[in-house]
Amino acid sequence: MTASELAETTLFVCVTCRAQVTEGVSPDQPRAGARLLAAIETMPAEHRAGIAVVGVECLSNCNRACTVAVTAPGKWTYVLGALDPDLHVQDVLAFAQLHQRHDAGLPAWRERPEYIRKNTVARVPALSMPR
């Protein structure tokens, strides 16, 4: 096992995101972001291996909710948006696993889930990267 395989990627999940379609959604229901976090946390452990899942409040992508960010020390950070807790949990975890396995956190474009390719909001280099 290489060092990059051991490095942990962090998946930040915004728990305050609201569903894009709110018609019929009761104010008593958990927010879509909280449901996304719960859905990720209930996935089998092998889908989350090497990934720390952390709930946070607002990643400043509220208009394209739900939102997550994938990052690790010395690697690129990705912000992913327009996620539906009922549809995109496996795509998010697949992308996080690709990020975790790549030394620089740069999953190959063709290997990324299609929905993630189309809904990547931003990517940010690590501070330690050469310029």
Residues that bind ligand FES (CB under 6 A): 14, 16-17, 33, 58-62, 65, 67
Output the smallest distance, CB 9 to ligand FES, in A. Answer: 20
What does the DSSP 8-state code read for residue 111?
G
- Give the Cα separation of 9 and 31 in Å (integer): 25
Q: Could you tell me whether strands 9-14 and 51-56 are parallel, antiparallel, or unpaired per DSSP bridges? A: parallel
Beta carbon nearer to ligand FES, 95 or 102: 95
Q: C-alpha angle 31/36/40, rounded to 5°? A: 150
Output the smallest distance, CB 33 to ligand FES, in A. Answer: 5
Output the smallest distance, CB 12 to ligand FES, in A. Answer: 10
Burial tier of 60 (Cβ tally within 10 Å: 0-12, 13-18, 19+): exposed
Beta carbon nearer to ligand FES, 65 or 96: 65
Closest CA to 32 of 19, 41, 23, 43: 19
Beta carbon nearer to ligand FES, 31 or 102: 31
Output the smallest distance, CB 89 to ligand FES, in A. Answer: 16
- Give the Cα separation of 80 and 116 in Å (integer): 7
Beta carbon nearer to ligand FES, 11 or 14: 14
